Structure 1
Amino acid sequence: MQSLYRLIKNYGIVGIFIFFKLKLRLSRSISVPGVSHPIRLRVGTSDAPVFTQVFIDQDYSIDLPFDARNIIDAGANVGLAAVYFANKYPKATIVSIEPEKSNFNILQKNVAPYPNVKPVMKALSNEQEVLTVEDLGYGNWGFVTSRAGEKTTESAIVVETITIPQLMRDFGFDHIDIAKIDIEGYEKELFESRYEEWVPKTKCLIVELHDRMKKGTSTSLFKCISQYNFSLTLSGENLVFVNDDL
């Protein structure tokens, strides 16, 4: 019932219709007040819980002292955070990275009405390499990436990686306003090395850690962040770091 309360609080009477569409799985497409185009969700997947995080709990509703123009959305899943950012920051370029094919297909459909969202079907890493993507039982929102040769299931697929410095070069970013990082445990490698080129150039880092999937992710992140002048707050499951030097 907390979800219903939040929906009514955020969207008024329309929130009731959204609640029952989600609960009863009445539609694959949901219209949200303030969002310019309907959102596509898959029935019987983790899309509904992700929708809850983004549009009901509003985990990315963070007051920042600037108008974001350069956004990296790593671990984009089906594009719900990208849609949220595209509506909140219509002048921003949003680069959405998602390595898993079925998620990426829905991502493309959800962001198609937003020309400022740039989908990239690769895995984010701290170096150019080849990774495996596999389902270890966490559902569509929890495909786990690991280095090639470390796969544990026969269904694992191989994907190419891309680094944040390469994305910055590709899309002409001299800095990053928001970097949203939700990459199911690969935060460990991302913040372990080669972060000097982009972390100090990032105004806001939004990170969801996954120590339950891979031990050492939080240690890696905080070791990196401690070298710079960031302030920390919480928003839902996310750690929000704001760079006090930018």
Structure 2
Amino acid sequence: MKYIKRFYFYLKEKYAYRTYIKKLGITFPEYSKYVNNIWDKDDNNTTVLFGKNIRRINNICYMECVMEIFIDEVYRFETSNKAPLIIDCGANIGLSLIYFKQLYPNSQIIAFEADPNIAEICRYNVEQFNFKDVDVINAAVWTTDGYMSFLPNDSLGGKLEGDSDSSKSISVKTLRLLPYLEKFVDFLKIDIEGAEVDLLLDIKDSLDKVGILFVEYHSSVGETQRLDLLLRVLTDAGFRYYIKEAYPAMCHPFLNYKNKNKFTSGTFDLQLNIFAYRA
């Protein structure tokens, strides 16, 4: 019986790959490792996307982003502006930039990525597509210009650490986002691993110059939750919002909330995708 089940799920996996994934240039082994949560230390750090050779960090995180961005199209939006201004805070390896440019080829994009290694990969990937009007800035968006301690994780979860004395922390440049909101921004994306509330509080008086806003909210283990502050900023700025779970941090919240070792994301006990729009 177990062999029949394995074969059944293999067929489902194969069907999904052929129907939705293959057209992106993803190989079946890449997709299969993702579906079966196989972390392969020997994964090549290069792959092919839409016929272009690009670089990645690891297959699992890469495929998670591919599924979210190109299959679920979490950032899909509509605008009458043929050359929208898009600001991407937390661009990672640049998959979101590739998506935005496919959606609006004449868009102007300003992208921030704090991790210097990942920012280099992001620039490389964007260059493979010969996109114009894409500026990748190796800096963390913050409330002030300067430098801060940053804890990289060679994946999706590098974050500002304030005055951290961790031996793994590095110093990164910070740029205040507020000056970038002097003209109208069609789409603002904020995915900065826990720094989003402070950032939004700093730019709240300029959010009237933002048409659509996507923000991923992160609740850090052991820290006061500030989702209420974030939502108040959005409401005061005239946004309505829709909220979806970004990542299942706890499978059984009532059983696991006291045991951070049970958290699937490790450092966060809640991650939400928040879509803010004008009614």
Q: Please state which band the TM-score falls in when normalised by the shorter chain.
A: 0.7 to 0.9
Cα shift at 1:27: 7.5
Q: Which residue of 121, 124, 136 maps to 2:138?
A: 121
- The residue that corresponds to 1:49 in the other structure is 64
| 2:57 maps to amino acid | R
**2: distance between equivalents of 1:129 and 1:26?**
35
**1: distance between equivalents of 2:166 and 2:68?**
29
**2: distance between equivalents of 1:96 and 1:175?**
16
- The residue that corresponds to 2:209 in the other structure is 201
SS at match of 2:236: coil
**2: distance between equivalents of 1:168 and 1:4?**
45
* Number of equivalent positions: 230
**Does residue 143 in structure 1 map to residue 178 in structure 2?**
no
Q: Which residue of 172, 185, 200 maps to 1:159?
A: 172
**2: distance between equivalents of 1:108 and 1:163?**
21
Gaps of 5+ in 2: 1-8, 34-42, 247-272
Q: Which residue of 42, 47, 60 maps to 1:29?
A: 47
Give yes or no for contact 1:209–1:217 (8 Å, CA) kept in 2.
no
Compare relative contact order (CA 8 Å, sep 6+) and give the higher one, 1 or 2. 1
**2: distance between equivalents of 1:233 and 1:15?**
28
Cα shift at 1:40: 2.8
| % same residue | 21
Give CA-to-partner distance per residue, 1:6-35, whole Å, 9 cap, x none: 654445x53695443344557822233xxx
**2: distance between equivalents of 1:80 and 1:134?**
22
In structure 2, relative to structure 1, the CA distance for the partners of 1:27 and 1:144 (3 Å cut) is closer
After TM superposition, the structure 1 stretch with the greater mean CA deviation from structure 2, 218-227 or 180-189, is 218-227
Gaps of 5+ in 1: none
**2: distance between equivalents of 1:5 and 1:131?**
47
Give CA-to-partner distance per residue, 1:217-243, whole Å, 9 cap, x none: 423311211212212234673211113
- The residue that corresponds to 2:240 in the other structure is 231
- The residue that corresponds to 2:275 in the other structure is 240
- The residue that corresponds to 1:83 in the other structure is 98
Give yes or no for contact 2:115–2:158 (8 Å, CA) kept in 1.
yes
Cα shift at 1:87: 1.2
**2: distance between equivalents of 1:65 and 1:91?**
12
> Which protein shows a greater Rg?
2
In structure 2, relative to structure 1, the CA distance for the partners of 1:92 and 1:6 (3 Å cut) is farther
CA RMSD, aligned part only? 2.8
Structure 1 stretches of 4+ with a deviation exceeding 4 A read 1-9, 24-27
Give yes or no for contact 1:73–1:97 (8 Å, CA) kept in 2.
yes
Cα shift at 1:188: 2.0
Provide the TM-score with structure 2 as the length reference. Answer: 0.72
